[in-house]
C-alpha cells in the first residue's frame, strides 16, 4: 500500500516545507560554524591592546638601549652616541647587504634615536646588544648568537646569514622624549 501525500490548497506538500526548513537550519548552522572559524583568526584582545604603545625616553642616557614589548615582539630603542652615529654614517652603502643609511632608519632631527624590532631577520631569534654587558658583535651593534649574524650601530646586517637589516617599525615622536610605536 503506497503512502498518500497530502497536498494543500496552494499545491505545497508537507515534504516541501520539511526540505526548506532543513535547508535553512543547515545554512544557519554552517554560517555559525564558518563565523567561529574565521573569528578565531582575529588578533586576541591583549594583542589589540598593544596595537600602539608610548615609551618615555627621558631616562635613556646617550649610549644606552632599552627593550620594550610591542605586539608580542621585542623592540630595541637605542640612544646612539656621536661616535656610533659617525661610524654608521661613515660606512659606505656599497658594503651593505641591505643598503640603508642611518638617516633612512631614523627620524629627521632625531638621528640619535634608533628604534628597531629586536627580531633577527634570519630565523626570528632575539639578538644581543641592547642590555648592559651583552655581546654587541663585530660592528658594535647587535649580535645574534644562534647563527652568528652581526649588525652595526644602525642595526644593519654586516656579517652572517641574516638577509636584511633589523626592521624599523612604524613610529613617531609625540614630544622630545615620548615616542609612539605602531
Q: Which residues are catalytic?
A: 147
Cβ within 8 Å of residue 60, ≥6 positions away: 66, 77, 79
Rounded alpha-carbon distances, angstroms, from residue 182 to 9, 99, 168, 170: 66, 24, 11, 5
Rounded alpha-carbon distances, angstroms, from residue 155 to 8, 10, 14, 143: 79, 78, 73, 10
Report the alpha-carbon distance of residue 48 to residue 37 in Å, rounded: 19
CB-side neighbour CA atoms (13 Å) of 93 = 6
Amino acid at each position: 500500500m503506497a503512502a498518500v501525500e497530502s497536498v494543500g490548497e496552494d499545491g505545497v506538500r508537507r515534504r516541501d516545507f520539511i526540505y526548506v526548513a532543513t535547508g535553512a537550519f543547515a545554512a544557519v548552522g554552517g554560517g555559525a560554524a564558518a563565523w567561529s572559524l574565521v573569528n578565531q583568526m582575529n588578533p586576541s584582545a591583549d594583542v589589540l591592546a598593544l596595537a600602539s604603545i608610548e615609551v618615555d625616553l627621558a631616562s635613556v642616557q646617550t649610549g644606552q638601549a632599552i627593550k620594550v614589548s610591542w605586539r608580542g615582539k621585542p623592540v630595541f630603542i637605542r640612544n646612539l652616541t656621536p661616535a656610533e652615529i659617525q661610524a654608521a654614517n661613515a660606512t659606505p652603502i656599497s658594503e651593505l647587504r641591505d643598503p640603508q643609511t642611518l638617516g633612512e632608519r631614523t627620524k629627521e632631527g632625531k638621528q640619535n634615536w634608533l628604534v628597531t624590532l629586536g627580531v633577527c631577520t634570519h630565523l626570528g631569534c632575539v639578538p644581543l646588544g641592547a642590555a648592559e654587558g651583552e655581546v654587541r658583535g663585530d660592528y658594535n651593534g647587535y649580535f645574534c648568537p644562534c647563527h652568528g649574524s652581526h649588525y652595526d650601530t644602525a642595526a644593519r646586517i654586516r656579517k652572517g646569514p641574516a638577509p636584511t637589516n633589523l626592521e624599523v617599525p612604524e613610529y613617531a615622536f609625540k614630544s622630545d622624549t615620548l615616542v609612539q610605536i605602531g
